[in-house]
Amino acid sequence: MNDLRKLLFGNLSTGLYAVLLAAAIVVPFFNLVVPASWPIHISTFMVGLLGKYICYALLALALDLVWGYCGILSLGHGAFFALGGYAMGMYLMRMIGPRGVYGDPILPDFMVFLNWKELPWYWHGFDHFSFAMLMVVLVPGLLAFVFGSLAFRSRVTGVYFSIITQAMTFALLLAFFRNDMGFGGNNGLTDFKEILGLDVQKETTRNILFVASLAALAGGYAICRAIVTSKLGKVLIAVRDAENRTRFLGYRVERYKLFVWVVSACLAGIAGALYVPQVGIINPSEFAPASSIEAVIWVAIGGRGTLVGAILGALLVNGFKSWFTGFLPELWLFALGALFIFSTLFLPQGILGALLYRRQKKGATLPPPGEADAIAPEPPVEDEQQAKLQRAGA
């Protein structure tokens, strides 16, 4: 039993990288090389769908970094995701060029429709891919920095913090709905034609985007992993467990929180940017508070405080969602709610947490929920235990 567990979870990181790499080879192969008539052929639609899941997984990872490791429960991470998405969408709109319905070489269709004469200042530069990519990271990062500086310095914690993140994403939702904001209002940005000169509809482009999403997820994981296994990661967990104690040890808690908060927002922005060309649209509904809450549920179900768990949760729940909404779309929210209640009651540490810590759970009393711990008790960090033991023994 022990050996099996070791085999399965002994090195989660290697396993994850291997799975991502395999997906990057297998999925394009079964889509592009295997003929469409074969039953094992993966449709282009499926490639796009999987790509979307991967983007969600990156969002879940970003959320887990702040929530699972630092106890900051964000109910507005969708805002960072959507902002990254809009930055990408603006680039894609500029790439339409004269191929829009109205044929204006510069202005996107919705601006022509609104009778605008020239491009608003904040749309300038988005015709350059590199500038747009910079904005994908910078805009969410900057918002997170400003929001986080104010909130953490004022020591807003726990549910109060969660509520204002919810307010933040709701405020953005309302703002982006307005036509005069210049982001396409209700309809958002869509009708994309090409990205970096490649037709966004084409199969090869779809596969490239899918592989790019996998690469981003692998990169994001590597960053998060580096953070949580460093001494900084230990400080984050200390903050989560006993914020005041950490402060009296001489750590500036608000700076640590701000650091992970901004990193997390940037990762969410990247996830959003990769999501948009694959689904072909970005509109204000991405800011909806419900989407952010759904992301929290992925993490809770997968196992917060375990990076791989967050990824697993996002993939499983979204896979289940696609399957379920195939025949009972109107009941999805009930199913999601039920799933959440089930995991809270029976898998408080999430799926991965339950698998990893079943043995420890017996002897070890779990730490009491901290201030921000609205949902589940904390598991210790994945496979850090062994590393610690080795280091301590050294």
Partner 1 sequence: MTAGTPPSPSSLLYLNDITVSFDGFRALNALSLAIDRGEMRAIIGPNGAGKTTMMDVITGKTKADQGDAYFSGTHDLRSLDEARIANLGIGRKFQKPTVFESHTVWDNLLLALKAPRGVFSTLVASLSGAQTEKIGELLEIVHLTDAKSMLAANLSHGQKQWLEIGMLLAQDPQLLLVDEPVAGMTDAETAKTATLLREINKTRTVVVVEHDMTFVRDLDVKVTVLHEGSVLAEGSLDHVSADERVIEVYLGR
Cα separations (Å) of 245 from 157, 183, 250, 371, 390?
A: 15, 45, 9, 13, 26
Instruction: Kindly state whether residue 365 participates in binding partner 1, applying the rule CB under 8 A.
Output: yes
199: part of which helix (H) or strand (E)? Answer: strand 198-199
Site membership for partner 1, residue 380 (CB under 8 A): yes
What is the smallest separation between the CB atom of 164 and partner 1, expressed in angstroms? 23
R_g of the chain, CA atoms, integer Å: 22
Cβ proximity to partner 1, 41 vs 247, nearer residue: 247
CB of 238 to partner 1, least distance (A): 5
Using CB under 8 A as the binding rule, whether residue 202 contacts partner 1 is answered as no
Distance from C-alpha of 233 to C-alpha of 260, rounded to nearest angstrom: 10
Q: At what angle do helices 253-279 and 77-94 cross, to 10 degrees?
A: 40
Report how far Cα 211 is from the mean position of its chain's Cα atoms: 17
Which of 8, 150, 328, 364 forms a contact with partner 1 (CB under 8 A)? 364
Least distance in angstroms from the C-beta of 375 to partner 1:
16
Shortest Cβ 390–partner 1 spacing (Å): 10
Q: Is 230 in the site for partner 1 (CB under 8 A)?
A: yes
Q: Are 242 and 370 spatial neighbours (Cβ–Cβ below 8 Å)?
A: yes
Name the β-bridge partners of 281.
Answer: 190
154 binds partner 1 (CB under 8 A): no
Q: How many other C-beta atoms are found inside a 10 Å radius of the C-beta of residue 11?
A: 14
| Start-end of H helices in the chain | 2-9, 12-28, 44-70, 77-94, 109-113, 129-153, 158-177, 203-229, 231-241, 243-248, 253-279, 289-302, 307-325, 332-346, 350-363, 384-393
Q: Which is nearer to partner 1, 117 or 231 (CB)?
A: 231
What character string, x for contact with partner 1 (CB under 8 A) and - otherwise, covers 318-357?
----------------------------------------
Quick check: 368 binds partner 1 (CB under 8 A)? yes
- Tell me the C-alpha distance between 158 and 152, whole Å: 11
Of 33 and 394, CB closest to partner 1: 394
CB of 223 to partner 1, least distance (A): 11
x/- letters, 235..274, toward partner 1 (CB under 8 A): x-xx-xxx-xxxxxxxxxx-xx--x---------------
Least Å distance, CB 235 to partner 1, is 6
Binding residues (CB under 8 A) for partner 1: these are 227, 230-232, 234-235, 237-238, 240-242, 244-253, 255-256, 259, 363-368, 378-381, 385, 388-389, 391-394
